[in-house]
Structure 1
Amino acid sequence: MFQKSNNGIQFLSKEQGISHAKEAEGFAKTVGQPEGTAIYFAVDFDAQSSHLSKILEFVEGIKSALKDYKVGVYGSYNVMQVVKGNVDYYWQTYAWSRGHVADFIHMR
C-alpha cells in the first residue's frame, strides 16, 4: 500500500493522485514488485459525502499516471462505494464503515 499523508481531504486532488502514482510506481519497480499487480492507495479518514468528488479526482489522477500496475484503493465503506467500478481492487477498513460492508470488496 502507498500512503503519503492521505489522512484528510486536503491531501486529495487529481494532481496529488498523479504525483502519488508516479512515486508509488517508482518504488514498486525499485523493490521488484511484478508488473500487473496491485498498488493500493489510501483514503485514510472518515470520508463524508461532501468529499466524494475529490476522492474521484484523486483516483482519476492515479489512473492517468499508473502505467504498469493495477489500482487498488483502501478506505471506508463510503470510499468503496464511490470508487466502485473505477479501480481494480478494493480494501475496506473497519474504521469509519459504521458496520457496513460492501459486497464487492477484496479485503477487509
Structure 2
Amino acid sequence: MSLRTLLFAVLASASATSMADEQLELGKKVFTEQAQPSCTICHALNDAGSAGEIGPNLDELKPSAEQVSNAVKSGVGIMPAFGDSLSEQQIKAVAHYVESVTGK
C-alpha cells in the first residue's frame, strides 16, 4: 500500500467518524430539544436522560432507524407526526441516534 493510499484511507475514516459523531449529536439534540413537543416528554431513553411513560420505553423496544423514521414522519397512535416540522436531515439523525444508543 502506498503512502498516498494509506493517508487517504486514514483521512476518509476520520471524516466518516466525524460525520457519524455529528449525526449522533444532532439526533440527540432533535430528541431532547428540537422536536416540539420534545421526545423526552413521552419516551424513556437512558442516553437522553428521559423517563417519559406515555410512549414506549425506547431502551426496551430497541427500534430500527427505519421504524423510528417512519414513526417520526407519520406519527403512531397518539404520537404526532413530525414530518412537516422536522427536516429530513433531522429525522434521519434522530432515527440513527435512537437506533445507535439502544444497541440495535
TM-score normalised by length of structure 1: 0.28
TM-score normalised by length of structure 2: 0.28
Pair member with larger Rg: 2
